[in-house]
Amino acid sequence: MRDYVVNPVVAELRERIERLEGGVTRSRAVLPFGVPAIDGRLPGGGLALGALHEVAGGGNGAVDGAAAALFAAAVGARSRGKVLWCVTRPDLFAPALAQVGLLPGRVIYVEAGDEKALLSCMEEGLRHGGLGVVVGELARLSMTASRRLQLAAESSGTIGIAVRRWRRQTEASDFGQPTASLTRWRVSVLPSSPLPVPGVGRARWLLELIRCRAGESADFEVEAPDAKGRIALPSELVHGSPQEETGRRRASA
C-alpha cells in the first residue's frame, strides 16, 4: 500500500487558506492578559499577535467609546513598540490613556477625514511592521475591509484593534454583522470596587468575549486596567467568596 507524504506545497496552501479564513495557527504568538480565567478562553493563551480584534462599549459606551478605548490602550501599554491611533473625531483624551500605561511618547495620532481614509491608514500601519499596535475608531467595518486589515496584520505580526463607535446607540446593531476579526469584545462599566472608607474605588468592567475564532464566548467581571495596563479579577472573585455568585448575577444584569 502506498505511503502518503505531506506535500509541502499543499501544506503551505492549507496554511494560506486558514489565514484567509481567519483561523488561528499553532505557531501564532500571543499577548497574555495575565488573568488565567481570560487567557484560558483564548486560543494560545492570550490575545493573538498579527491579527485583527474588535472592541466596543456597552450601553452609553457604544457612543462615547471611553471604556473600549481604555481596553485598547491597555493592550497597547503591554505591547512593544509605538502605537498608531487613528481617529475621525478629535475627542481622544490622552491623559486617560496615560493612566492605563500608554504614555504620550508611545502614541502616534492620525486624524483621518473619513472612515475610508481611516481604514487606509490602519492598513498601512499594520503593513509597516515597526508598530506594536494599530488602533482605529470607526462605526462600520465590512467583511472586505476587515479581511484586508486581517491580512495586513498577519504580514507584520502587529495587533490591529478596531474600536467600534457609533453616533447613536441604535446604530450599535452593526456590531453583530460578521467580520474577519479573530476576537470581538464588549466592555460595559460597572459600579467601582467598594472601599472600607468613603471614596471611589478601582473602576470595574463587565468584559464580554462575544466572539472568538477557534474558541468560545465568555464574560468576566474585572477591575479596569492599572497604571501598567493590567486588568485583574476582583479580590472576592479570586478567593471564591460567597459573594461570587451574587457579583456574577449583578454583572450579567
Tens place of pLDDT for every residue, the chain, 253 residues? Answer: 343 344 666 656 666 666 555 444 445 799 999 999 999 999 999 999 999 999 999 988 999 999 999 999 999 999 999 999 999 999 999 999 999 999 999 999 999 999 999 999 999 999 999 999 999 999 999 999 999 999 999 999 999 999 999 988 888 888 989 999 999 999 999 988 777 776 667 899 999 999 999 888 999 999 999 999 999 999 766 555 434 444 444 544 4
User: In residues, how long is the chain?
Assistant: 253
CA 22 to chain centroid, in Å, comes to: 15
pLDDT of residue 169: 84
- Who's near 85: CB < 8 A, 6+ residues apart? 92, 107, 108, 109, 110, 135, 136
Cα 53 from Cα 132, distance rounded (Å): 14
Kindly state the greatest CA–CA separation across the chain. 79
CA 106 to chain centroid, in Å, comes to: 18
CATH class for the domain made up of 28-189+200-252: alpha beta
Residue with cell 500608554: 102
pLDDT of residue 238: 57
Residue with cell 503593513: 127
Q: What are the helix (H) ranges across the chain?
A: 8-20, 36-39, 61-64, 66-78, 94-99, 115-128, 143-156, 235-238, 243-252
pLDDT of residue 183: 97
Among residues 68, 18, 88, 70, the alpha carbon closest in space to that of 48 is found at 18
Residue with cell 474585572: 222
Cα 26 from Cα 14, distance rounded (Å): 13
- Pairing state of beta strands 82-87 and 107-111? parallel
